[in-house]
Structure 1
């Protein structure tokens, strides 16, 4: 059998920017005209949220948050470099990037020959004209899609992008694993998941539009069920373990996102729900992950945890527990972030 490394990170977009802008999503949510009056200023927030906001609208806390995230990125990168994979398969969400009105699969393998993308403008690295050029692995992508189809998973695939060169769940994974700018020598195989489901087109896989009231009829069909993605991840791990490739499987996403948590008025994530799933992951209770209802995912704004459903399914198929596991919580920086390293024994 081939060796498989399992990893998990966050692709948190504000990490590409400067600390003073890290709370920008919260500031936008505070413009919600339907926000209860008591929540419009820090005086009405939970005490821990006020403390994180501080006297500088979160800038000091942002530096701490960044340090925690970058510290974990370095640990994951070290594990990747020690393992030296033939390629990195990345499970990530497509937020109205290539999954748009003309085609929205449940999930799709990007079996490209190569990828080109650039960091966002005004980024923390001060890069203005950098372009990443990475190799893909079309042969491995075709093999994986074929084997998944044979196993009963109706897997979409593509050989070139339809709209966007590379969605941010995948591009940011590379940018952050190369945060120190040492280069990223590994080919990638993006495996896009329609995590946003009912909001992939209706909300463009992003923040709510406060000038638009979405009725049930306006919403899109749901995301794939958690149990199906769990099984997809398990099948992917089994196929690649039986392949000639040495592969790193990487889930790239945060968990609960504040801008998806209606019961919190879109201000802060459902950390309680995330910590429950984290504890199941820590203790190896993978069956609890597979049994997690799709409605619970939506209610807690955990759409992107569906990427990790694939990862946890892979862990179960490989009979593996995390070697290193970390949880970075927050009130004001939009999402809980989890990190995982599970090397082969």
Structure 2
């Protein structure tokens, strides 16, 4: 009996396994049910919608980044060439249009120097001639270079010609407009008159000195404006020349910057000084401080010799008379 029961149980198990396998086979052959398929399709559609939404958000962020980069680029002004800023043409808050200038740049990689040459010396200067450059703005600086070219036309006002010097790789402190002193070796001796550099006055491109036309007993002396050529610049002293100058001609050493041609003056110091009763002497102008013209003492001292074959001119100091100074104050 026991064996029969075990055999029957085995048969039942086999039948159950066959039925389960048949059910699985029927499910496999029948495929997914419609409700499961619809659920899967709905899930896929939701995922596709989420991807599209994320893509739209990414595009919006990319557009915002591009707009920010454009705004950043518009805040930067890139020069077309390197240089240093010489002038700012607009201020914060100003409205500018496209292509409006906002800064003035100067190319500092090379500087063109225009050296004024006296008319009498221009014929002795040739391109390629060595020249030594110095500047009071740069103590200790010195550059040895050469003349590049000469302008073919002389200035009608200063009677001088310009020599062009191309200075490459200038020092940082040498900016356009800086005054330079050039030393040239010229054969022969210089003709002219040696005076202090402070004697010279520069107006309208012309170098000037002042002489004195003596007045009468009741008339003041008058300033005489004399155009001169700058023959040589020796630093503290210069050599000048003019047909109106002579070895004994007295020029104004002190007070010339405040003078005009034919302006009334009073000689207060020098060979021609003749103080009148009631006037000041010893270099002081009547009217006190402020009436006397400015300028450092110049001219030759006792025992001083002129350089380069030039003559020395006697000097004097002048001041505006008290009556004239009071009217102009």
Select the structure that is richer in strand. 2
Q: Highest relative contact order (Cα 8 Å, sep 6+), 1 or 2? A: 1
TM-score (norm 1): 0.19
More helix as a share of residues:
1
